[in-house]
Amino acid sequence: MMNKSFITSHWISALLVTSLLPAIVCAQEHEPQDGVRVGKMSMMRKLGNLGGNLDQQASAQYTQTMKDAQQKRALAPDNHPQLIRLRAIAKKLIPFALPWNDRASQWQWEVNLLASNQINAYCMPGGKIAFYTGILDSLKLTDDEVAIVMGHEIAHALREHGAERAGKSIVSNLAVRGLALFAESKGYNGQAVAGIGGAGANLIMLNFSRDDETEADIVGLDIAARAGYDPRAGVVLWQKMGVVNKKAPPKWLSTHPAGNDRINEIRKHFPEVLPLYAHAIGVAPGNLPAYKSNVKVIADVVN
């Protein structure tokens, strides 16, 4: 049987952490000077990346993934046309990514291409970017669409969403544990209470992930537009994604917003990002031509 003082001390600790949660989440640092506005970053990311452990783990994981791919002959060589293309796009995006995170200028940026049918791409903490051939081939991505995908993934790293989710998970787990201990001290089944609390916490974390995806979409649009890539490509990208991903999970159980919601959110920010794009290519905003889809069943995007 647990000592009562032990239960009480753990409950108090969990209660303190939970009570501090709103302050931690609201504490922020960075904010763009113009373009899109998404607010400053949550201080929760500092809890999730104490001592830079998450960055180190991400770098080690990326290195190991590339080594494994090379052994399987799935890592594209430096002279691969698609890899050259990806690196050229990244070279244009990265300068406009740096203002979003002070640490980004110190990152050792990398871009690699993996031979796989997966429709996927990512950017790990520290600027470690990977694309799979599946996303390029299946979606027939134009350079503008590649820039939207890459900008989105870079935004996750810049906004330190991985560390933020880790920090929120720590707080959530402490709160659930504290609730279970408190229930046990009152004679209830702590394990059952923990199960219910954990299920609720998981749904909350899914919502956090959807918020992160929306933020990455918006920041990615800003970065791509400044680099001279048409942000309207985001609409076509998600229309293409909808064609190949018809069996998506229900929105409320998904870590990603529904495709139509993403498209609507992208369109909502056109007034902020289209002038950036127009300026980058030296055209008056009112004279921008339509973004032309390379898929017949998808209409061109005017605004």
Instruction: Give me the active site residues, please.
Output: 153
Decide: 88 and 78 in contact? Cβ < 8 Å: no
Cα-based distances in Å from 125 to 56, 103, 110? 9, 10, 11
All residues at 6 or more sequence positions from 70 whose CB lies less than 8 Å from its CB, including other chains:
none
- Phi, psi values for residue 45, rounded to 5°: -65, -25
Which residues 6+ apart lie within 8 Å of 295 measured at CB? 140, 236, 240
Number of C-beta neighbours around residue 181 at 10 A: 23
